[in-house]
Amino acid sequence: MVMNIEAVTPDFAASVTGVDLRQTLSDDSLSQIKQAMARYGVLIFRDQPLNDDQHAAFTRRFGPIDKGLLLGSQKRKRRLSNADVIDLANVDPEGNVLPAENSRNVSLIANQFWHSDSSFKDPPAKYSILCGIDLPEGGGETEFADQRAAYDALSDALKARIENLIAEHWAFHSRAMLGGSNHTAEEMDALPSVHWPLVHTIPESGRKSLFIGIHTREIAGIPTAEARMLLHELLEQATQRQFVHRHNWQNHDVLMWDNQCTLHRGRPYDLNKLRALRRCTTEVVLENVG
């Protein structure tokens, strides 16, 4: 097969065909994917029925695995055998759809905020690879916002204001906003807040990008109220429709994106219907941050 990469827009999101992610890809194929990621930020692979081991193996070709919120989650029975794969299904360990009011749904609903995976960790996330296993009809789309284009569109005055600012990212900020703040001290100690520049340069493309989202709650040297209004203003500007691609899911779609230059969010869906996705994520190599 010959890999084909077709842009959705000139510089953001592309569809990839002519590749089977279940197979061990050649170095040349991996290089093409990396180059496409550097340009487009989001890649869409249709009809890729990966099992968990294939999903994890493909992800590991791009870097060390990130555990994300699993580091700060209560111990519970795992549904999946591969510990590198994060289960994003609204079901219990036996596969039964959970009631809408179940506490696990708080975490799933929090994914409807604009966010960057594991920005609350040191090191943060680089690539996320999300597999759609069983998707309901209607709702539950995933949207992506290009933070490079969003930065480019800021006024010169706002660029100058934020150039050297450092934001605090905290894993449980969004959960607390939804009322899911009953986390243990052990869980919170496992994921202390971290600090990253509001603006950084993406090494693969050389482009500047915002690094914000729902996990940000403070800015160093700025009072909380002022900082949160600035973060809100930036998020509003960075998620305008001209910067956003919406993906309508089909079963066995695979989405891959760069958390360092995109934000994403899920859209609402019927919590009483089965929705099963699985995600693997790589960590940033630290010298590539900043």
The domain spans of the chain are: 4-288
Q: Is the pLDDT of residue 245 over 80?
A: yes
pLDDT at 62: 97
Say if residues 123 and 284 touch (Cβ distance below 8 Å). Answer: yes
Identity (one letter) of the amino acid at 33? I
Whole-angstrom distance, CA of residue 210 vs CA of residue 201: 9
The predicted pLDDT at position 9 comes to 94
Query: Residue 139, class by beta-carbon neighbours within 10 Å (0-12 exposed, 13-18 middle, 19+ buried)?
Result: middle
Looking at the DSSP assignment, which residues form a beta bridge with residue 180? Answer: none
* List of residues 6+ apart from 40 with CB closer than 8 A: 5, 7, 8, 11, 12, 13, 14
**59-116 per-position pLDDT tens digit:** 999 999 998 766 545 555 678 889 999 999 999 888 899 988 887 888 888 899 999 9
pLDDT at 214 over 50: yes
Q: Give residue 202's Cα distance to chain centre.
A: 16
- Alpha-carbon distance of 251 to 79, in angstroms, equals 19
- Write the CATH number of the domain with boundaries 4-288: 3.60.130.10
Give the tens place of pLDDT for each residue, 161-195.
999 999 999 988 877 777 755 667 777 777 889 99
pLDDT at residue 76, rounded to an integer: 59
More confident residue, 244 or 172: 244
What sign results for the dihedral spanned by CA atoms 23, 205, 284, 244? negative
Per-residue pLDDT of 54-66, as tens digits, reads: 999 999 999 999 9
31-59 burial, b at 16+ Cβ within 10 Å, e below that, comes to: ebbeebbbbbbbbbbeebebebebbbbbb
- pTM for the predicted model, two decimal places: 0.93
- Is the peptide bond preceding residue 124 cis, with omega within 30 degrees of 0? no
Percent share of the chain, pLDDT over 70: 94
Rg for the chain, CA atoms, rounded: 18
